[in-house]
Homo-oligomer: A and B are copies of this chain.
Amino acid sequence: MLKESPADAQIVSHKLMLRAGLVRQTAAGIYAWLPLGYRVLRNIEQIVRDEQDRSGAIEMLMPTLQSAELWRESGRYDAYGPEMLRIRDRHDRDMLYGPTNEEMITSIFRAETRSYRDLPRTLYHIQWKFRDEVRPRFGVMRGREFLMKDAYSFDIDEAGARMSYYTQMLAYLRTFQRLGIQAVPMKAASGPIGGDLSHEFIVLAPNGESEVFYDAAYEGFDWHQSDIDYGDERDLQRLFKQVSDTYAATDETHDEKQWGKVKEANRRTGRGIEVGHIFYFGDKYSAAMDLKVSGRDGHEVTPLMGSYGIGVSRLVGAIIEASHDDAGIIWPEGVAPWRVGLVTMRADDQPSREAAEMLYGHLLGAGVETLYDDRDERGGAKLASMDLIGLPWQLIVGPRGIATGSVELKKRSTGEKHELSIESALSRLVGA
C-alpha cells in the first residue's frame, strides 16, 4: 500500500496534516480522513451549508458516477481531457466519475421544471468529485478525489441571473469570513459570455499557485453586517459595486493602471490559493441540452445559468497554509476540531487527574467542545501535540498549580498564557 511520510510532503499544510494525523493517503492523491481531520472537514462543510441555506439555495445530492451519454449531450465528453476518470460498467456502458455537474443538473432541471414560475432557483450539493490529475500533490489541496460544494442558478433573464450571481457572491464572502480566513474575490479571466460575472476567491498563502494584488480595504470589510439583505436588490447591487470598486486581481487579470490608483499603503501583493469560483455562463448548457420553460407570455424561454464552486476538502489545507506557525496548526475558532484541549502534565498525579476530570465534566456540560488528553506521557510531549493539532485554547493542569487551586490557560494563536483559578479559567471558556 502506498505510504507517504511528512518528509515527502512538499508544502507545510500537507506536512502538518500528516504529522497531526488529519489524513492518511490510501492511493495516489486519495486520502482517508482520520477522526481529527474529519471533524474539521465537517465543520467547514457545515458552515458552507449554513450560508448556502441562508442565501436561499436549496440542497440536494447528485451521485458521484454519471453516464457518458449526459456529457455527450453537451459535447464535453470528448472535449474533456484525461483528467476525466472514464469507467466502463459490467454491461460495457460508458460511465465517468463526475468532475463537476453542469450536465446532470441541467438534465434534472429539464425533467422537473416546466414554467417560469419555478424560477429563479439555485440548487446546490456537497459531494465528492474526481479529477485524475497527472501528478497529484500538495495533499488534499490537489488530490484526485475531493469534496466540493457546487451550486447552479437558473434564471429567466439576465437581470435575474445577475441577482443570483450577487447572492452567491455575498454567500461566499460570508462563508469565508465565518471560516476565519481572508478570501478575496478577484476578477477572473472569463470566456466570451462571462463579462464581469466571474470571480475567483483567493486566500493569501506563501505556497499559493498564483500571484495576487489587492486593496487592503478588504481586510476591514464585515460581510455579516445586518444592512445587507438577500431579499433587497439594491443591497446586492451595492455589494457588487463595492467589490468591483475595490481592486483585486490575479496575475492573469492584473491591470497596472488601475493598481496605480490604489493608495500605496493599501497595496497588498503575494501568492494565493483559489478556494472558490463563481461564474456566469448564460445559456451554454441550457441551449446545448435543450432546457426550456414556458415564459410569462406563453412562449418558451431558455433559462440562463451560473455555477458556483467551493473546494471544501481543499479548504482544510488552505486554512492551514494561511494559519500556522513553527509549532503547528492554528485553527480559527469556527473550524477547530475541538475548542479546548485539556492536558494533565502528570497523569499519575491524583489531584491533577481529579481536577482535570472535574473541568472536563464542566466544559462538556456547558457544551464546550473539549479534547481531554489524559495519556500517561510526558507533559512536554502532550503540550507539543496540542500545539501541533492547533486547538484554539489549551487548559493545562499541573501538580504545582493544583496545589494552590490554579491552572494555566493558553491561547494557541498568540501563545499568551495565564495562570488562573479553576473558576475563572472555566468562566473564560464557558462565557466566551
Contacts and interface: CB of A to CB of B under 8 A. Distances in A.
Interface in A346-388: none
A41 B95 CA distance: 25
A2 interface: yes
A64 B32 contact: no
Contacts of A97: 65, 87
| A interface: dominant SS | mixed
B132 A67 contact: no
Interface string A415-427: 0000000000000
27 contacts: A1-B67, A1-B70, A1-B73, A2-B69, A3-B111, A24-B112, A26-B62, A26-B66, A26-B104, A27-B63, A27-B65, A28-B93, A30-B63, A30-B65, A33-B62, A34-B112, A35-B58, A35-B60, A35-B123, A38-B59, A38-B60, A38-B61, A64-B128, A65-B130, A83-B90, A85-B90, A87-B87
Interface of A: 1-3, 21, 24, 26-28, 30-35, 38, 41, 58-67, 69-70, 73, 82-83, 85, 87, 89-91, 93, 95, 97, 104, 107-108, 111-112, 123, 128, 130, 132, 134, 144-145
A338 to B, nearest CB: 13
Contacts of A35: 58-60, 123
Q: Which 4 A-B pairs have the closest CB atoms?
A: A27-B67, A33-B61, A32-B62, A82-B90
Contacts of A89: 85, 132
Given A27-B95, A87-B87, A95-B27, A1 B107 contact: yes
Contacts of A112: 21, 24, 34
Given A2-B69, A82-B90, 13 more contacts: A2-B67, A21-B112, A27-B67, A28-B93, A32-B60, A32-B62, A32-B104, A33-B61, A35-B123, A38-B61, A64-B145, A85-B89, A85-B90
A70 B30 CA distance: 13
